[in-house]
Amino acid sequence: MDDLLADFLTETNESLAELDTALIRLEQAPDDQATLSQIFRLVHTIKGTCGFLGLPRLEKVAHAAENVLGRFRDGTLAPTPAAITVILQAIDRIKLIVAGLEATEAEPQGDDAALIGALNALMEEASAAPAPSAVPGEVEPAAEAGEPAAAPAAAEA
């Protein structure tokens, strides 16, 4: 086995073990920013190395999962139990692909379209959600700087 691939598999298996533990913590405390950042970094590292090693299937799954995790991390998508379940499915798929790499030194064949579609649907959900509104009573930054605040839009009748 190629040394780069062997190192990747060792590091990825270590990351997957960390991900299992971190995802359990996330399920118990969905607002834990440190755990969200750890999970994001681990998946990001797997994705980045896939591109370097020419593992397109694994890269696509990891990339779609990373996008959702980024939305969790930046607060534009809530890490609900249903959303975390889809992330867990992605991690399980990553494990399956990694096991195939270990066995044959090549990515196993497979169709990840449904899983990537589910991850992308979460992204669309985050994109369609309205932007968080300012907390009532808070002064907008422009008003603090002495600039006029934008006038509220008139309600349509």
Residue 117 to residue 23: CA distance in whole angstroms: 21
pLDDT higher than threshold 90 for residue 62: yes
Q: How confident is the model at residue 49 (pLDDT cuts 50, 70, 90)?
A: very high
Structure confidence at residue 135 (pLDDT):
46
Residue 104 vs residues 5, 13, 16: alpha-carbon distances, Å: 11, 16, 19
Q: What's the pLDDT score for residue 129?
A: 63
Expressed in angstroms, the distance from the first to the final Cα of the chain is 70
pLDDT tens digits, residue range 105-152? 999 999 999 999 999 999 888 777 655 544 444 444 444 444 444 444
Q: pLDDT tens digit string along 78-105?
A: 999 999 999 999 999 999 999 999 999 9
DSSP for 46-75, please give it: HHHHHHHHT-HHHHHHHHHHHHHHHHHHHT
pLDDT value for 1: 73
Q: What pLDDT, on the 0 to 100 scale, is given for residue 52?
A: 86
pTM here? Answer: 0.79
The CA dihedral of 55, 60, 64, 65, to the nearest 10 degrees, is -30
What per-residue confidence (pLDDT) applies to 23? 92
Return the CATH number of the domain spanning residue range 3-127: 1.20.120.160
